Structure 1
C-alpha cells in the first residue's frame, strides 16, 4: 500500500468515497474490498458454531472458602486470579484497596453495581415492584418469552408501524443515502459510527452457524423467521450493517479491581437498547433488520472488512482511528435495506502493534500474544479460535478473566485535542519507521491507565463521551 493518503482523480470518485461517512481523520486510507490490513486466508476460514471455551464462573462460596473478597461481584476470575489482580492494582495505584467487593472503594462499587441494570439486554431477576419482590425474567420465561429484549427479529412492538401495512410505499433511498440515514439514526439513539458489507460466501463465514443452539440458515423466503430449531436469513437480506458505540475514555483508563468497571457495565446496559431501537427504526422504513446478538458473529473480522477499524494485538477489540479501543459495541445487523459497502481502512494500527506490545506487557496473566503476528497461536487454540485463518494475534481467551487492565493502555485511545498525539497518529499512518520511538514515548509519558480515585474529581462529559470527535 502507498504511504500517501487516498487520492481522488475526479468528482465521481470523491462522491463515491465512503471516508466521509464517519468523518475519519485525514490520515485514514481506504483499501480494496475484502483486503484489510490483516492478511486473511479465505480458503481456511469456515463458519463456526459460536461456542468458545472460557473460564468457568466461580461461586461466592469459592471466594468465601479462599478468604478472598468479591462475593457476587466476581466475573470469571478464580480466587487466585483475584489475589493477583489485587496485588497488581495496589502496585499500580498506591493506596488502592479492593474494598468489600473487590472493585475498590464503596462509591466505586456502588457505581459499578448500579451500572449493571438490564445489562446485555437481559430482563432483571428479583426486583422491587409495587411493594413485592418479583422475578421478572422468571415470569417472562414462564410465558414463553426469551431472557433478553434483543430477539433475532427485533421487538416488533405494536407501536412500530410499517408503511406497507397501510398501503404506503416503503422508504426509497440510494445505498449511500440509506447508509447516511442509518448513521444519523444510530447517533441519535446513542451509537457512533457505521459501516456496511455485502454478504457473499466468504463474509457469511463470520456469522456463526448456530445461535443459542439454533441453526442459522439462508433461505429463499421474503420474510425472516425463527422456529424452535432455526433462525432464517432471507437471501434478499444481502447486507451486514456494522455499528459501534463508545464507552467512557476516562473511566476506561481508571478501571481497577476484580473485574471490568462501570465504564463497561453501563455500556452493556445502554447499547442493547440502541440496537433494539434501531431494529424498530428499520422496520418502520419497511425493511428487515436481524440481530445475531453479541455471540452470533465474529466482530473483529467484520469490523475490519467494513472499514470500522483494524485488527490489533488485543485481538478482540477493534482498534478504531478516532477512539482506539474505547468502543464497547462493535455489533452487526443483517438487513435487506440496500447499503453502500464501506471498504477496509488503513491508519497504521496493525503495523504499529507489531512494535508496540504495551497491552501485552500490561496483562497480569500474560494472556495477550506477544511478538510478531502469526498464522497460529497454540495458546489460544483451546478456546476454539480458528488457527491458520489470518496472520495476526490471538488472545488466550480460554483463560482470560476479563480483568480491567489492557483496554485502557492502547496508545490509540488518545484524544484529538492533543497536538502531539495527532502528529504521532498522522506519522504512524504513513510510515512505520518511528513506531518503536513512539511506543517508548508513550511509556515514558504515561498516557495510559490512571488512578481510579481521580475520576471522582473530574468534570467529565455526559455518559463520559466527548462528542466533539
Structure 2
C-alpha cells in the first residue's frame, strides 16, 4: 500500500498556522499527536466514534432483561391492525380537513402537503417506482394514499407568485435542492422543447401512441429549476487521468460516484416536489422524461433541457465545457430538477457572475480534457460541428463548441466527467480567498488571466489516495454529506 509521510515537522506546521511554542505545549495535553497520515489512520479516531458517555456492553447484553428461554419471535404474535380502512375512516379525514380549513399552524394545507408528499414518495419507491406514463404526479394513486385539497375538503392553495416562489424554495431546500429558480414558459421558451413536444388544452400530459409526440398542458406556464449539488470531494478523485496501465488516459472511475449519487438525488427530489405540488392542488410535470429522452435513453442522458432552462432561469452561466457553471458551486452540479407546473410563480432572471467571460481566458477544462473534445479557441463561435451531414451542436447560440463525436468515441459521458471536477469555480466559499476571487471576477475581467494561472499553480491535478479514503476518519471527514446530521461528534 502506498504511504504518504509528511516531510514537514509538526513544529514547522504549527508555526505555519501561526501557533507559537507556548501553544504547542497546551495543545499536546488536549489531543493525540500523530507523526504522519498512517499514524492517524491507525488511531481509534479512524473509525466511527460515539460520544464519551456511550459505553459498550457485552454481546446480547441489553439494558433491558431478556429471558432467552421464553423469547422467540417465531411464536404467533398479533398487533393492532393498522389497515388502510383505518387510515381512510371519516372522522380522521374530517379532523384533518377541519384543521386545514381553520388554518392552524402546523396543520395547514401547505404544512400537510410536505408530510403527504414524503409519505407518497416513500410508498411509491417501495412499490418499485414505475415511471408514470401520463407524466403527471401519479406517485400517489389510489393504490397508496389519497390526498390533496379535494380529498381533505379544503380549497387549493392560493397566494401571490412571489409568496409561491418562497414556498417552493423553502420546501425544495428541505427536500434536497439548495437553490431554486423559475422560468416562464412563453413562446420563446417553447422553442427549447424538441419536436416531440406539443402544447394543448389538456389536463395532464397525453402521449400519441402512433408518433410518440407528448402534448403538454397549456396551463403549465412555469418551470421550476432546482440545483442538485454533487459531492465536491469525491469529484476531486477524478481530476487527473491515469498515467499508465490499462486505464491510461482515463480518469479514475471512482469519481463518477458523485455523478450517479446526484442523479439519484435528482429523481427523488423531483418526485417529492411533484407530490408536494399535488398536495397544494396543482400539477407537476417532470421535464426529465418529456420528449426524445423518453424513447432514447442515450439522448436523455445528455439532459437536453437542463442547460438552456438553467441558464434562462438564472441557476448559472454557460461555460466552455458547454454545461451550466454555478457562481456558488461551479461545474459541481448535476442535471437539475426540471418541473413544469400550473402553480403561479415569479420568474427569476439570468445572471452574469463573470463566468463565461472567465472561460475565455481560463481553458483549464479544455486543456485537461483527455478526449480533446472541448474547444481551446480564444473566442466562442456561431459555427457548429457536423457528423455525416447533420449538426451535432445547437445552432443559434454563440458558444464554445464541443465535438461530441470525439467525446463519444472516447467513452463520454460514461467514462469521463473530468471537466466538472477541475473547474476553478468549484471551490467552496469557506476559504476567505475564494469569495474574494469570485467577486473580483464578477466585477471585472482584468485579473482573469492571473487567477487562472493561480488556479493552475495552487490546484494542479494530483493523484488522490484511495487507501486513505477507505480508511478516512468518519468523525470529521468533510466529504460525506449526511443531511440532518451533525458534521462531527464531540
The TM-score with structure 2 as length reference comes to 0.60
TM-superposed deviation, 1:440: 0.4
Aligned to 1:375: 382
SS at match of 2:182: strand
SS at match of 2:288: coil
Aligned residues: 320
Comparing 240-249 and 255-264, the one that deviates more: 255-264
Partner Cα separation in structure 1 for residue 315 and residue 439 of structure 2? 18
Partner Cα separation in structure 2 for residue 440 and residue 153 of structure 1? 49
SS at match of 1:463: coil
Structure 1: runs of 5+ lacking an equivalent: 1-144, 211-215
Partner Cα separation in structure 1 for residue 388 and residue 256 of structure 2? 28
Q: CA-to-partner distance for each residue in 1:432-462, whole Å, 9 max, x for gaps?
A: 0110111000001116666152544361254
Could you tell me which of 256, 263, 267 is aligned with 1:272? 267
- Structure 2 vs 1, CA of residues 302 and 404 (structure 1 numbering), >3 Å: closer, same or farther? closer
Would the aligned equivalents of 1:248 and 1:263 in 2 still touch at CA under 8 Å? yes
Aligned to 2:219: 236
SS at match of 1:398: helix
Partner Cα separation in structure 1 for residue 265 and residue 134 of structure 2? 16
> Is 1:154 matched up with 2:160?
no
Partner Cα separation in structure 1 for residue 146 and residue 405 of structure 2? 41
Q: How does 1:197-208 map to 2 (within 5 A)?
A: 197-208=183-194
> Is 1:247 matched up with 2:230?
yes
> Is 1:288 matched up with 2:283?
yes
> Is 1:355 matched up with 2:368?
no
- Structure 2 vs 1, CA of residues 160 and 196 (structure 1 numbering), >3 Å: closer, same or farther? farther
> Is 1:416 matched up with 2:429?
yes
Q: How does 1:280-359 map to 2 (within 5 A)?
A: 280-293=275-288, 295=300, 297-316=304-323, 318-359=324-365
Partner Cα separation in structure 1 for residue 457 and residue 181 of structure 2? 36
Could you tell me which of 173, 182, 197 is aligned with 1:187? 173
TM-superposed deviation, 1:329: 2.9
- Structure 2 vs 1, CA of residues 313 and 420 (structure 1 numbering), >3 Å: closer, same or farther? same
Partner Cα separation in structure 2 for residue 426 and residue 379 of structure 1? 38
TM-superposed deviation, 1:202: 1.2
Partner Cα separation in structure 1 for residue 237 and residue 428 of structure 2? 16
TM-superposed deviation, 1:172: 0.7
- Structure 2 vs 1, CA of residues 204 and 450 (structure 1 numbering), >3 Å: closer, same or farther? farther
Partner Cα separation in structure 2 for residue 382 and residue 323 of structure 1? 37
Aligned to 1:445: 458
- Structure 2 vs 1, CA of residues 254 and 156 (structure 1 numbering), >3 Å: closer, same or farther? same
The TM-score with structure 1 as length reference comes to 0.63
Would the aligned equivalents of 1:176 and 1:339 in 2 still touch at CA under 8 Å? yes
| Greater relative contact order (Cα < 8 A, sep 6+) | 1
Comparing 244-253 and 199-208, the one that deviates more: 199-208
Would the aligned equivalents of 1:154 and 1:280 in 2 still touch at CA under 8 Å? yes
Q: How does 1:164-179 map to 2 (within 5 A)?
A: 164-179=150-165
Partner Cα separation in structure 2 for residue 153 and residue 243 of structure 1? 18
Aligned to 1:392: 399
TM-superposed deviation, 1:395: 1.9
TM-superposed deviation, 1:376: 1.6
Aligned to 1:460: 478
TM-superposed deviation, 1:354: 0.4
Would the aligned equivalents of 2:321 and 2:374 in 1 still touch at CA under 8 Å? yes
SS at match of 1:242: strand
Structure number with greater Rg is: 2
RMSD of Structure 2 on Structure 1 (CA): 3.0
Q: CA-to-partner distance for each residue in 1:133-173, whole Å, 9 max, x for gaps?
A: xxxxxxxxxxxx99646962133313251213444210112
Partner Cα separation in structure 2 for residue 193 and residue 301 of structure 1? 17
- Structure 2 vs 1, CA of residues 427 and 450 (structure 1 numbering), >3 Å: closer, same or farther? farther
Question: Which one has the bigger helix percentage?
Answer: 2
